[in-house]
Amino acid sequence: MADSLTKKDPADGSILDKRPTADDDDAKLHDIGLESSGLERNFNTWSLLFMSFCTSVTWEAVSSASAQALTSGGSSSLVWGFVATAVGTMLIALCLAEYSGMIPTAGGQYHYVAKLAPPKYRRIFAWFAGWITMLGWVTCSLAGTFATAMQIQAWAILFSDTYVYERWHTSLIAWSIGLLTSAVSFVGWDSSTHMAEEMTNAAQNLPRTMIANIAVSGLATFPWVIAVAFCFVDLQGVLSGPVGRISPFVQLYYNISGGNQAATIGLTSFLPIISFCGTGTSVISATSRIIWSFARDGGLPAYFSHIDEKTKVPVRSIVLTWGLISALSLIYIGNATAYYGISSATTVALVISYAFPIFINVVWGFKGPRMMPATCGIERRIIRS
């Protein structure tokens, strides 16, 4: 990793004991060892909270993945599994929010690791955390692209007599749509972390945003989970339909409406609409920022760390993000199993990226700052464990 990650030791009180103010964002970066990014700080707590909510797309993800949960464990698995996931995610968010107050950077998890790990292992651990975070976000975007593409394809299968299903059609739709929606509940909630260098007073506002996002997503989605559990009464009837395996929600509404085209498309169009209008831009923004930050610190070619002077955004990393998703989508044409193996890495990679800095903090002791913008308090040992 670049020297910027290791210029100062986290034991140095000049980094950790400083209370943030509304004007010290660039000074905070300098204390950590980074120069001002050149990005404009256009986000406040509310705007970044809404963006994070879009990238989490928790209730939309439940819509896409509910059939698998119901098939494996029934309605109790869906409902109580969601509750357990929400609680576990909140505990993780409390820990990462604490770190984000100390180190409010777009690098997020790999910067936390760089500051928490012992000097001997700092570079290799930060390098691993950076790659696993980037992998998680790219595959998260890939999975979301196909969730929407398959729903559009399901409409074509049901309502076009001349349409013949081909795997490359899904890839073409995904290629055209670009970066859309997350496909797994409570994955992608750390998007606010990667927008930290575009937020005002990030050291104080970022931890609040992260925690609030989990709370809002969980509370807003739980009623939807209950509704989904009650709607899928005849699960086998849904899954055995023409598009039950491709898009169970489209098949559900198709069955309920008696095969009515307007009702089916109208009632299931919320996912593509949300993908185009909100989630797409949010996901591509977060993914491109982690790529940009990693390039700035030497994990990728410096070419991708460039900030466009006119737009004040990392255009090159945005183009790279789109290119990676497009290329990975083509794998589905040749080998669907290989594609699903790659896209399923979303949850694993992102969970590892969340857990890694916490693991390092636990293994190498609970010695940490007492004066931080956001803290878990005395109970932080229990929460991290």
> pLDDT tens-digit profile of 338-381?
656 666 677 888 889 999 999 998 888 645 444 344 444 445 55
How far is Cα 182 from Cα 146, in angstroms, rounded to an integer?
10
Could you give the CA distance from residue 65 to residue 271 in angstroms, rounded to a whole number? 13
Domain residue ranges of the chain, discontinuous segments joined by +: 19-384
Q: Which CATH number fits domain 19-384: 3.50.30.60, 1.20.1740.10, 1.20.120.1200, 2.30.40.10?
A: 1.20.1740.10
Q: What is the tens place of the pLDDT at every residue in 206-247?
A: 999 999 999 988 888 888 888 888 877 777 777 787 877 777
Q: Angle formed by the axes of helices 109-116 and 345-363, to 10°?
A: 20
Cα dihedral: 61, 62, 64, 67 (round 10):
160
Residue 126: CB atoms within 10 A of its CB come to 29
pTM, 2 dp? 0.79
Eight-class DSSP state of 19: P
d(CA 226, CA 80): 10
Q: What pLDDT score was predicted for residue 133?
A: 93
Task: Tell me the Ramachandran region of residue 188: left when phi exceeds 0, alpha when psi lies from -120 to 50, beta otherwise.
Answer: left
Q: Mark the ranges of the chain whose per-residue pLDDT is less than 70.
A: 1-23, 57, 59-60, 64-74, 161-188, 276, 278, 332-344, 365-385
Contact between 220 and 59 (Cβ < 8 Å): yes
Decide if 329 contacts 174 (C-beta within 8 A). yes
Q: How far is CA 102 from CA 7, 37, 240, in A?
A: 15, 17, 52
Residue type (1 letter), 339 = Y
Residue 62 half-sphere exposure toward CB, CA atoms < 13 A: 26
For residue 337, what pLDDT is reported?
Answer: 63
Question: Alpha helices of the chain — where are they, by DSSP H?
Answer: 13-16, 25-32, 45-56, 58-102, 109-116, 122-159, 167-177, 191-194, 202-231, 235-239, 248-256, 261-268, 270-274, 280-296, 315-329, 331-334, 336-343, 345-363, 380-384
**Residue position matching structure tokens 């004066």:** 371
Rounded to whole angstroms, the Cα distance separating 90 from 86 reads 6
Closest CA to 153 of 138, 141, 137, 164: 164
